[in-house]
Amino acid sequence: MPSINILEKPSIVALLERASSSLLELEQRIARDLEILEYPSRNWLPKIQRPDGAHVYDVIVVGAGHCGVTAAFALIRERITNILVIDKGSVGAEGPWQSYARMPDLRTRKAVTGNELGYSNLTFRSYYEAREGVDAYARLQRISCDEWTCYLLWLRRLLNIPVQNETELDLITPENQVFRLKVRQNGKTAELLTRRIIKTSGPLSMGGATIPPVIEKEIPRAHYATAYDDYDFSLLKGKRVAVIGGGASAFDNAGAALEAGAISVDLLLRRRKIPPVSVIRWTDWSGFLQTYADLNDDQKWKMMHQVQRNAAPPTIRAIKRVEAWSNFSIHFNSSIASATMIDNAVVLKTASEVITADFLLLATGFNFDLRKSPPLGKIVNEIALWRDRYAPLETASEKYLNSPYLGRNYEFIERTPGSAPYLKHIFCYNQSSTLSMGPTGRVSGLKYGIKRLMAGVCGSFLREDYEHHLSSVTNYKAHEFEDHPWMDAL
Ligand SMILES: Cc1cc2nc3c(=O)[nH]c(=O)nc-3n(C[C@H](O)[C@H](O)[C@H](O)COP(=O)(O)OP(=O)(O)OC[C@H]3O[C@@H](n4cnc5c(N)ncnc54)[C@H](O)[C@@H]3O)c2cc1C
């Protein structure tokens, strides 16, 4: 996708304008809700003074997608206010919704909640009903990606979430009770100091897209993009496109390529048919999302293999979107046996067919490989992975084995106990935490995951600042009543 300013995209401008005129009353109700539920309102973290006078944040949240914004909201509610959220993207471009989510609507049902942390006036439903009316919400089938972008921007503005956009984290260096973060902002390098890091930098920041080895080896990069690349689909006009993959993203990419003017789109998937079941949806119940993290390793391993036994299938709208085109073909039972370049075209062979394309779109999932996460550069080898702690009986996927093996509150733990104690101050809240913590990075998991995350962050501060708090309670002298003859002199 060409780098456009999302805030100037006509469909977004139109929605933001509608929002600004009609949400005032709701916003006033929200201000009151926040005030009523403010207790206890005391900021409780000691201010860190450094000899060099440099500012030390208590928490830096890396990534301003929906997990980052919600984590920051939760921190503020816990009175941890000396925080900063950074995102490498520009305002409105955070997360996949305006780039590689090539679907018109969210896959999640419209009633999903999570970002609002239980404040009903902050839900998507309240936002939409205030703007469009109750009947309009009743008629709404799914939340569009534009609507979701505007909703997240609205939350962020209303809740005063301190986001610094176009700021990319390059490197984390632990240093005497703090982390030094090397960031790049507008081409310039800067450094930020923080006591805790919450890594809500999305699935791609933990390894990247999976590229089938046969493609990576034989096909030049100019002839393919992954489903997660911010690729300019207008370049597909007049091209023969082949999409590889059988999940929702494959169909969304095929639909987007057809709409961009591809002369033909062939979708190749290994499966015999599309599974009608999205097992991940089974996880949307409180007992599971709330306590999965407390299961033992064996239970987690078996459970998550069942949950992830198939990629999210396409929605029926995504299927209809592609089948409407006569230049679309679907090829089941089509594993790629070989891929070669002939006359500047990609020739794919399956067991029964030969398909020629000018360009490939790879919707073959993403992997976890922390070594490909540059910010973890210096500390990556200290982080425990599942492969370090668990030996499955059956042959297991690299993706699972390479997932970080997290503590009970999303914190990294050390591969070798005692070697990197600072790791417990980095909280990993993104899809790579799924095996350890459950699918709490999806909207529906935020309700439970963020609570657990906050318990971890708050607990870690209390433990580290214990002496400060002990001294504070020892010297506590706030009077409960005014001068009175019966009052003891302290
Ligand atoms: C195509 C697609 C569709 C999905 N649809 C749904 C759905 O309908 N419902 C649902 O519940 N879930 C859905 N998901 C799953 C999940 O909810 C999304 O992936 C969601 O975006 C996760 O939110 P996040 O905040 O963890 O990460 P993201 O939204 O990916 O946000 C991460 C942010 O971190 C920033 N970042 C990354 N690295 C750095 C760095 N080094 N420095 C600074 N910033 C950085 C990125 O710019 C990005 O804005 C979907 C996922 C995909 C990929």
Q: 91-95, 325-329, 389-393: lowest mean pLDDT where? A: 389-393
Residue 1 is predicted with a pLDDT of 45
Q: Which of 6, 442, 450 to mutate to test the pocket of ligand 1 (most atoms within 8 A of CB)?
A: 442
Residue to substitute in 87, 105, 192 for testing ligand 1 pocket (most ligand atoms within 8 angstroms of CB):
87
Q: Is the dihedral of CA 231, 233, 236, 240 positive or negative?
A: positive
Cα 6 to ligand 1 centre (Å): 16
- How confident is residue 22, by pLDDT bands cut at 50, 70 and 90? confident
The two three-digit tokens of residue 139, written as one number? 């008629």
- Which residue shows structure tokens 């982080």? 383
Annotate 396-463 with three-state secondary structure: CCHHHHCCECCCCCCECCECCCCCCHHHHHEEECCHHHHHHHCCCCCHHHHHHHHHHHHHHHHHHHHH
Cβ–Cβ contacts within 10 Å for residue 51, how many? 5
Give the nearest ligand 1 atom to 203 CA: 30
Q: Which of 312-321, 347-356, 462-471 has the lowest mean pLDDT?
A: 312-321
Is residue 60 in contact with ligand 1, taking CB distance under 6 Å?
A: no
7 C-alpha to ligand 1 centroid (Å): 19
Rounded-to-integer distance, Cα 426 and Cα 445, Å:
20
Q: What is the end-to-end Cα distance of the chain in Å, rounded?
A: 68
Mean pLDDT of all residues in 200-209: 93
Cα 410 from Cα 388, distance rounded (Å) = 17
**Residue of 164, 205, 373, 426 to test ligand 1 pocket, by largest number of atoms within 8 Å of CB:** 205
Which CATH number describes the domain made up of 6-206+368-467? Answer: 3.50.50.60
68 lines ligand 1 (CB under 6 A): yes
Q: What is the CA radius of gyration of the chain?
A: 25
**Cα 127 vs. chain centroid, distance in angstroms?**
22
Q: Indicate whether 2 pLDDT > 60.
A: no
CA of 143 to the centre of ligand 1 (A): 16
pLDDT per residue over 107-135, tens digit each?
889 999 999 999 999 999 999 999 999 99
What's residue 311's pLDDT? 80
The protein residue whose alpha carbon is closest to atom 21 in ligand 1 is 95
Most informative mutation of 91, 94, 109 for ligand 1 (most atoms within 8 A of CB): 94
pLDDT digits (tens, 9 = 90+) for 139-184: 999 999 999 999 999 999 999 999 999 999 999 999 989 999 999 9
**What residues does CATH 3.50.50.60 cover in the chain?**
6-206+368-467, 211-275+310-364
Per-residue CA distances from 251 to 75, 215, 243, 349, 454 (Å): 38, 20, 8, 21, 37
pLDDT band at residue 399 under the 50/70/90 scheme: confident
Report the pLDDT value the prediction gives residue 99, as an integer from 0 to 100: 95
Q: Is the pLDDT at 309 greater than 50, yes or no? A: yes
Give just the sign of the alpha carbon dihedral 314, 316, 321, 327: positive
Q: For residues 270 and 335, is the Cβ–Cβ distance under 8 A?
A: yes
pLDDT at 239 over 60: yes
Contact 375 CB / ligand 1 (< 6 Å) = yes
Q: What is the mean pLDDT of residues 407-411?
A: 98
**Cβ atoms of 391 and 298 closer than 8 Å:** no
Per-chain mean pLDDT for the chain: 95
Which residue in 146, 157, 156, 148 sits closest to 14, CA to CA? 146
Ligand 1 centroid – CA 204 distance (Å): 8
Q: Ligand 1 within 6 A of 247 CB?
A: no
Q: What's the Cα-to-Cα distance from 206 to each of 64, 130, 209, 374, 429, rounded to whole Å?
A: 16, 38, 10, 9, 11
Could you tell me the pLDDT band of residue 396, with boundaries at 50, 70 and 90? Answer: confident
Count of CB atoms within 10 A of residue 150's CB?
25
User: Number of C-alpha atoms within 13 angstroms, CB side, residue 336?
Assistant: 27
**pLDDT band at residue 3 under the 50/70/90 scheme:** low
Q: Domain spanning 211-275+310-364 has what CATH number?
A: 3.50.50.60
Atom number, ligand 1, closest to the C-alpha of residue 95: 29
Question: H or E element: which one contains 136?
Answer: helix 134-139
